[in-house]
Amino acid sequence: MLLKPALKNYIWGGSRLKSEFSVESEDAIVAEAWMLSCNPAGESTIINGSLAGKTLAEVLFSDIDHSLGRKMMFSAYFPILIKLIDAENDLSVQVHPGNGYALEKEGRFGKTEMWYVLDARKGANIYYGFSRPISKNELIERIERNTLPDVLNRVIVRPGDVFLIEPGTVHAIGAGILVAEIQQNSDATYRIFDYDRTDSSGKKRELHIEEALEVINTGVTPGSVKSYSTVRCKGYSVVRLASCPYFSVDLVSVDTQADLCCGSESFTSLLLIEGEGRILFGNKAAGTDGIMDVRKGDSVFLPANTGDYRIQGKCRALRTVR
């Protein structure tokens, strides 16, 4: 299934998703494109085959056992949300709760997320934890005095960098960074600092200080993300970028062709982040002819039990499984 993303316009967004990833919008700014989403706040729509026009959620939850795989055989919740994010300006400093707090207080799951840096202006940075352990009292005082960034861990980023943002970790994407984000399917976000910005109506955006103070980790600065070895095969290579209880993400780099498989355990998401090619499917049950041309910016969903498939061409894709 080839997917059309849901689009989000926020005050910090830019135009690169339109110009570089073929995202179609009449708006000049597209901050986020939700490339794989069953979230009611913005659902992906299928644009190919006999299912064209239906939302991904409509199709998946009519056949959960077959579509989502053994790991989700009895689930009525789609676990993953995948976004492209264009930060023309700084995002707010925020923190996400874990499952326990979010389910109790919000009635929804918490949020673990991963960032893969697609591009970054020279010197562009993210905030990733604190530069040193601080007390809750100091944290409150710095929020009140607008000096919170002074104690945040500032990290200069480059294309290819990976960051796993676990619940409780304070974080923010800085200006000039293009990111692919793979996350739990949740919008449980507590904003704690927003540079005193105002929206189009002149109002400051809401902060969530009380909730953030209950979940934020002030004592530990995250270490570097694990590096995984590259598996090289004839015509392609695969490197594991991140793995957690909610998703695993690989970077698949195709030089000529890659023979892969989507089995019975989980669905597969392919997000093309560079180049173009063609995907050949042995299983044509989804109403396609078994051939799909793809290019940078395309998001393809493979239901569990799709079986063997081949990517031909020269391209790179983020492959996500449950």
Q: Which of 301, 307, 310, 311 is nearest to 54 (CA)?
A: 301
* Last residue of one domain, picked from the residues 186, 215, 244: 215
The pLDDT, as a whole number, for residue 148 is 95
Helix (H, G, I), strand (E, B) or coil at 179: strand
Residue 13 CB contacts under 8 Å (≥ 6 apart), including other chains: 29, 30, 31, 32, 86, 87, 88, 89
Q: Which of 191, 278, 316, 319 is flagged as catalytic?
A: 191
Residues 192 and 234 in one domain: no
* 235 & 204 share domain: no
Give the domain range for residue 105.
2-215
Q: How far apart are CA 147 and CA 141, in angstroms?
A: 8
Read off the pLDDT of residues 225-259 as tens digits, 9 standing for 90 and up: 666 778 999 999 999 999 999 999 999 999 999 99
Which pairing describes strands 257-262 and 190-193: parallel, antiparallel, or unpaired? unpaired
Same domain, 166 and 269: no
Same domain, 251 and 173: no
Q: Is 191 among the catalytic positions?
A: yes
Name the helix (H) or strand (E) containing 104. helix 99-105
Which residues fall within 8 angstroms of residue 186, CB to CB, at 6 or more apart? 81, 96, 102, 108, 109, 110, 111
pLDDT of residue 320: 98
Do 28 and 153 sit in the same domain of this protein? yes
Asked if residue 269 and residue 189 are part of one domain, the reply reads: no
Domain end, chosen from 160, 185, 215, is at 215
Residue 294, domain CATH: 2.60.120.10
pLDDT for the residue numbered 197: 86
Q: Are residues 141 and 257 in the same domain?
A: no
Task: Judge if 23 and 138 occupy the same domain.
Answer: yes
Q: Is residue 223 part of a domain?
A: no
In this prediction, residue 71 carries a pLDDT of 67
pLDDT for the residue 73? 57
33 DSSP β-pair partners: 7, 84
Residues 94 and 178 reside in one and the same domain: yes
Q: Determine the pLDDT at residue 228.
A: 75
pTM (2 d.p.): 0.93
In a domain, 225, yes or no: no
Q: What pLDDT, on a 0 to 100 scale, did the predictor assign at position 150?
A: 96
221 lies in some domain: no
Does residue 260 share a domain with residue 150?
A: no
Low-confidence ranges of the chain (pLDDT < 70): 63-66, 70-76, 223-227, 283-288
